[in-house]
Amino acid sequence: MDPEPNLTTILNLPTPGGGGCPPVGIQLEGLILPPMLSIDVILGLLGNIVALWIFCFRIKAWNTNNLFLFNLVIADFLALASLPLRIDALLRGYWVFGDGICRINLFLMFSNRTASIAFMTVVAVYRYFKVVHPHHCFNRMTKRRVVLVTVLLWLVVISPRVPMLAFNHIKGSGNTTQCFFFTSYKEASSAIIILVAVHRVLTVLEFILPMILLLFCSIQIYSFLKQHQTMGKPHKLRKAMRMCAVIVVVFMVCFLPTTVTTVGVWVIRSYRPWDCSSFYTFTQLTIVSLGLNFLNSALDPVVYVFSSSTFRKALLAATPRALLCRKDGDQNSASMSTTQSTNQQEMRFMREAASDP
């Protein structure tokens, strides 16, 4: 009889074999993950529905940067479509949606991580060329070429995950049914073992390589800022630097924990199978990292605001005027008498300041 499903099975972690560690005797996934993932879904839907509305109905002239950001919105909706089923399975304690939905669910969950990383990296690289190499041909790509680049990126993102759709990931029966990769190396087929090994390698590489690019772009832009502080338009350079900083922070918060815990479990399982205490510690940390991994869907709208002046202006224009008036009134409460023309000038000043971080 299969053991009761636990974090090891849900999070695709092998049960320690040679070291004789007993099964992971924790059920925290049912307590911690549902509220964390629910927050990710609620905030992600609110932010990305607004972003989708802005992109589709408020932005008339699309540029290269906005096309890349729009694909980041699509990547976020992949995760948001998959998380409610995962939350339901965690609350029930078992999977009720069948084999086909299980395959699609895992495919969407893992594809979202790769797609989000890919398009955030492309946005940062595009900003790097725009600031440091303004005359580079990369900045003069036609919309058709941008579409080709995005299609190529999606193929690179999806291709390694397609094999997930070819295997049955349902384990157990009745009230013990779960949707996951495998329970242990002894029970898994050689094809599943290879699939999971590829997944782990991708989890590490798709963090390290983009992280190197993001740091390179940020350092180069910072160096450029230091050399051109007196050229008359420092606000545009500061805007580019803030955008890179926001992307790096979101990237680190959302994806570094998953990478660290993946490497930790992998190392302990491979080289210290007797170290049950370390294995349990990293297993519990994996619970938290999974929730943070999908937090990117909620934080990406912040990236849109800092990465696109067009998006910021459209968002500001769509903001109810009463909110802007209240901010203006709070900011100028010390002035007891102002004319209508002065108020209008202050309003314009506020809009210009908000559109230029």
What is the residue extent of each domain of the chain? Answer: 7-328
Higher pLDDT, 97 or 318: 97
Q: pLDDT digits over 113-138, tens only?
A: 889 899 989 988 888 888 888 888 87
Say if residue 178 is exposed, middle or buried (CB neighbours under 10 Å; 0-12, 13-18, 19+).
Answer: buried
Whether the predicted pLDDT of 331 surpasses 50: no
Higher pLDDT, 192 or 255: 255
Residue 274's pLDDT is what? Answer: 76
Rama region for 98: left / alpha / beta (φ>0; ψ in -120 to 50; rest): left
Residue 101's pLDDT is what? Answer: 92
Q: pLDDT digits over 256-286, tens only?
A: 988 888 888 788 877 877 777 777 777 777 7
Residue 346's pLDDT is what? Answer: 41
- Provide the H-helix boundaries in 59-142: 64-92, 98-132
Mean pLDDT of 241-265: 85
Q: Nearest to residue 202, comparing CAs of 153, 149, 259? A: 259
Higher pLDDT, 281 or 164: 164
Global pTM value: 0.75
- Dist. CA 244–CA 94, nearest whole Å: 41
Whether the predicted pLDDT of 12 surpasses 70: no
Helix (H, G, I), strand (E, B) or coil at 170: strand
Q: Which amino acid is at 354?
A: A
Mean pLDDT of 40-62: 88
**Lowest-confidence segment of 1-10, 249-258, 298-307, 310-319 by average pLDDT:** 1-10
Q: Which CATH number fits domain 7-328: 3.40.50.12780, 1.10.1740.10, 1.20.1740.10, 1.20.1070.10?
A: 1.20.1070.10
Q: Which string of DSSP letters, residue by residue, matches 319-351? A: S-HHHHHHHHHHHTTT-S---HHHHHHHHHHHH
Whether the predicted pLDDT of 83 surpasses 60: yes
Sign of the CA dihedral with 300 first, then 305, 306, and 309 last: positive
Q: pLDDT digits over 95-114, tens only?
A: 889 889 999 988 888 888 88
Higher pLDDT, 145 or 3: 145
- Fill in the DSSP letter of residue 96: -
